[in-house]
Chains A and B, each alone.
Chain A
Amino acid sequence: MEAKLQEIEKRKTYLDEKSLKSWLFTLDHKRIGLMYLFTSLVFFLVGGLFAIIFRTELAFPGKQFISPEVHNILFTLHGALLIFLVIIPLIPSALGNFFLPIMVGARDVAFPRINLLSYWLFFTGAVLLLLSLLFGPIDTGWTFYTPYSANKGLNVFIVSLAIFILGMSSILTGMNFIVTVHKLRAPGLTWGKLPLFVWAIYATSLVQLLATPVLGITLLLLGMENLLGIGFFDPAKGGDPVLFQHLFWFYSHPAVYIMILPAFGVISELVSVHSRKPIFGYWFIAASSLAIAFIGFIVWGHHMFVAGMSPIADIIFSFLTYFVAVPTAVKIFNWTATLYKGKISFTTPMLYALGFISLFLIGGLTGLFLANLGTDIHLHDTYFVVGHFHYVMVGAAVFAFFGALFHWLPKMFGRMYNEKWAKIGWFFNFVGFNLAFFPHFILGIQGMPRRYWDYPAEFQGLHFASTVGAYFIALGALISLAVFIHAMFKGERASDNPWGGKSLEWTIPSPPPTENFEKIPVVEEGPYDFVKH
């Protein structure tokens, strides 16, 4: 045993080089993945802190301690940071970068230099987004609806430039992953043997590549309107404010799938590995990822049922939107069926996966009310919508991220996390999340509009519950991140394959060597053909 441990200590890993330069200019996809991971986690904490501040304000009616102006800046930054700097890059750019090349049996992504460029574009965009605060903070909401955002001047221009640059990064990463999956698969690794995480990242990359340019163009137009006064969207200058909404949602609806598809991929891995059973309905899951990516492009109008579209457009968009429900339902059935006759371990990743299915189920089902022409008129722009997308973006996407983080932590750092504290963190996250966001559905049904600094005193009880839940989530997130940081430096040595996984990342040492594989493997078995462990 002692000899074996010493041998492990002597192995060369991608973490060996310690100089700052070796990190900042690295071409190693694993190091770039970690840089994304830590950058995003910093913004995760900042964005979460903003939410804690305005949730505290909202615990009671009337002014507590922040003015409406400050509240509006905070919810704008909360949304913009968490969407553009956290949820969009968190799973694909951080974990995807680390694991996608390994899972296809490659030494790196197809274009390592472009990969580094992606990261630095991301970093530049993030810094620019923060610098924009110096020119006057933005209070437009992350949706930048015109004409409210059309006459703000320099700060909106800088923010749109920042998101434009973030979009460039997103496009390059998507392109890189697509080429990697097509060109660098190991011999024998047919499309039918790809882990579902790879399928999901592949579908996500397609959406990133095709939708993000539209966001770039839209924000460029908005920036030009603010800087040069050209009337694209402001009716006072001869523009059309509703055109902005069309262009914005043409990206931002597919972007919802950029955020959730990678989470689907993660859950397929976690559910299968931690119940030691082949994923149920591999092809249905893989195909449903592509179906969701495709349908996601033709449903943007469901954000605009009360915005002045023609009734025919309303009806068609509602009808099409419902078709997203089918592949989504199929995935949920498949994950559930995977548990059947499995050998289920209640590890932290599995708890996050099970939490994901329950919370995503609520997030998905409440979407049915919002695609519904009749009920959406009542629920649109109320807290019901806020509840719905937090169940999908946090309850699903962030839960999947935490599950993936603990699942792959032993591979990334060769160390194990503290199971007990990780579970305590999960408990606070799960209970806190439901306490914070379930009341939003009831508030919305009762007619509480969103983005309010204050509300009639009649709504108080549920707002207070929601604030308490927010504190729980803060505690849960801090505990979970502390467990992660602790494991990274001080965790017990983990074996190369602690879960008995079959996909390629579990066949190499933990932490992996720089070149991933000593010899490119020849793949014969599928990623879910589990054996005695």
Chain B
Amino acid sequence: MWISALLPERASDYAVHVDTAFWITFFLSLIFFVIINFAILVFIIKYRRRKGDEEPGAPISHNTPLEIVWTIIPTILIFVIFWFGFKAYAEIKWMREKPKYEIRITARQWGWTAEYSDGKKLITGTIKDDRFITTKDFQPIIFVPAGEPVQLVLTSQDVIHSFYVPEFRVKYDAIPGRYTKIWFQAKKPGEYEVFCTEYCGAWHSRMPAKVLALPPKQFERFLKLPPDKFNNTLANMPIDSIYAVLNLSDEEFEKWSGAQEKLLLAMSPAERGKLISQRLCQSCHSFDGSQGIGPTWKGLFGSERILADGKRVLADENYIRESILQPGEKIVKGFQPVMPSFQGQLSEEQISDIIEFIKSLK
């Protein structure tokens, strides 16, 4: 039906309350719109001035009963609209039962991190690309069970962002230095896009993510994934492979994860570093010498850096390590101190991998 085509799919439990408020407001508005426009149309045709008619219009200047009536009617109707809006709001705001799962969502310029209570941590990067994107390019990082309430605790590590899932009809700001909470219950398994809706800078439009609502069995598999091995790897996989992994039986899964481990072991540290850097660093640091928010990495290693205070330092391993963990300590001349710290977000091994990757960019 065209009506359901206007709003996105109703994918959360409370979406129906929002849509009810929407359609009630819509039809009341439509009635007013039609009445007023119809009246205007009739009046301007019927009472148009004929050529040569120089008389003024009828000297009707007011009609108090009529004016009181058309003040009271809208006053009553706004109470109706307010009430339905309030009802939907109450459904979104207050949970009916305590959610079993809580996920911490941290926004940054420009991407999202989802952290689970067992230590799993999935990160999306910025799609810095001149070509167009489709909803297929939205990387799933928020894994939830369909049919069960989930709470998200939102925060931001830099500026204000806003977490928006149109199909759930939910949105809330992620504010630095504060935690805000939302909850939802996906009605059925599916993929639901996440948009940032608070303007946050250059690549505001390119920090897409996805909620993946899973059937119970797949969600159980997700819970069983060992966090240390799969941190950051799921976020790199195409969605079909994610589903394939989540559908594996215990035995098949053992085999697959063994193979994955071998694959990672077979990679050089620089190759592993490249995987991480593409996701986390490339949005500000180019690998090919082009300009960015931060200095390019091409030819960085071993070069002499001129700092904002005029000092000169050699870009060695310790300098890079310090720049990742305490980015505010040494600012290169001509750049703003805007880089967030990655302290606690990267393992020692990952930091050395990134350093190896930078070394390889001659």
A→B interface (CB under 8 Å): 60-63, 67-69, 72, 139, 141, 145, 147-148, 151, 235-236, 241-242, 275-284, 306-308, 311, 314-315, 318-319, 322-323, 325-326, 329-330, 332-334, 336-337, 339-346, 354, 357-358, 361-362, 365-366, 368-369, 371-378, 380-382, 442, 445-447, 449-458, 500, 528-533
Known contacts: A139-B201, A330-B71. The answer to whether A307 contacts B173 by CB under 8 A is yes
Contact call A62/B166, Cβ cutoff below 8 A: no
Q: A148-B159, A280-B61, A365-B29 are in contact. Are A373 and B88 (CB under 8 A)?
A: yes
Our pick among B56, B62, B91, B131 for the contact of A282 (Cβ within 8 Å) is B62
User: Whose C-beta in chain A lies nearest to the C-beta of B203?
Assistant: A68
Please state if B199 and A451 are interface contacts (CB–CB under 8 Å): yes
- Chain A residues contacting B167 (CB-CB under 8 Å) are 447
Residues of B close to A282: CB separation below 8 A: 61-62
- Check if A381 sits within 8 Å of B85, measured CB to CB: no
Question: Looking across the interface, which residue of chain B has its beta carbon closest to that of A307?
Answer: B173
Q: Which residues of B are in contact with A by a Cβ distance under 8 Å?
A: 6-8, 17-18, 21-22, 25-26, 28-29, 32-33, 36-37, 39-40, 43-44, 47-49, 53-63, 66-67, 70-71, 74-75, 78-79, 81-82, 84-89, 91-93, 130-135, 137-138, 158-160, 162, 164, 166-167, 169-173, 175-178, 180, 193, 195-206, 208, 336, 338
Assess whether A329 is in contact with B74, with CB atoms less than 8 Å apart.
yes
Q: Are B130 and A381 in contact (CB under 8 A)?
A: no
- Is A374 a contact partner of B89 (Cβ separation < 8 A)? yes
Chain A residue contacts of B56, Cβ below 8 A: 276-277, 343, 500, 530-533
Nearest first, the 7 closest Cβ-Cβ pairs linking A and B are: A374-B88, A447-B166, A235-B177, A277-B57, A62-B132, A372-B85, A373-B89
**The one of B61, B137, B176, B196 that contacts A147, using a Cβ cutoff of 8 Å:** B176
CA A530 – CA B58 in complex, angstroms? 10
Closest A residue, CB atoms, query B20: A374
CB distance from B28 to the nearest CB of A (A): 8
Partner of B22, one of A339, A357, A375: A375
A-B contact pairs, 21 of them (CB 8 A): A277-B58, A280-B62, A283-B62, A311-B93, A315-B86, A318-B89, A323-B78, A339-B39, A342-B43, A361-B33, A361-B36, A374-B84, A374-B87, A378-B22, A381-B171, A447-B195, A450-B197, A454-B206, A456-B133, A457-B133, A529-B59
Determine whether the beta carbon of B44 is less than 8 Å from that of A339: yes
Q: Which residue of B has the minimal Cβ distance to A380?
A: B171
> Given contacts A339-B44, A373-B89, are A452 and B205 in contact (CB under 8 A)?
yes
Inter-subunit contact B201/A148 (CB<8 Å): yes
Whether A322 lies near B205 (C-beta < 8 A) is: no
Among B48, B62, B171, the residue within 8 A (CB) of A281 is: B62
Residue of A nearest to B30 (CB): A365
Find A145's partner among B60, B180, B198 (CB 8 Å cutoff). B198
How many Å from the CB of B78 to the closest CB on chain A? 4
Q: Which residue of chain B has its CB nearest to the CB of A244?
A: B160
Q: Is the CB of B25 within 8 A of A368?
A: yes
B17–A374 touching, CB < 8 Å? yes
In the bound complex, residues from chain A placing their C-beta under 8 Å from that of B62 are 280-284
Question: By the criterion CB–CB under 8 Å, are B40 and A381 in contact?
Answer: no
Bound form: Cα–Cα A339–B41 in Å: 10
Q: Which of A361, A366, A368, A528 has the most CB of B within 10 A?
A: A368
Which B residues are CB-close (under 8 A) to A60? 132
Does B74 lie within 8 Å of A325, measured CB to CB? yes
**Contact of A369 with B135 in the complex, beta carbons under 8 Å:** no
Q: Please, which residues of chain A bring their CB within 8 A of the CB of B67?
A: 281, 284, 330, 333-334
Contact check, B180 vs A308: say whether CB atoms are below 8 A apart.
Answer: yes
Select one of B18, B37, B63 contacting A378, CB under 8 A: B18
* In the complex, chain B residues whose CB is within 8 Å of the CB of A325: 74, 78
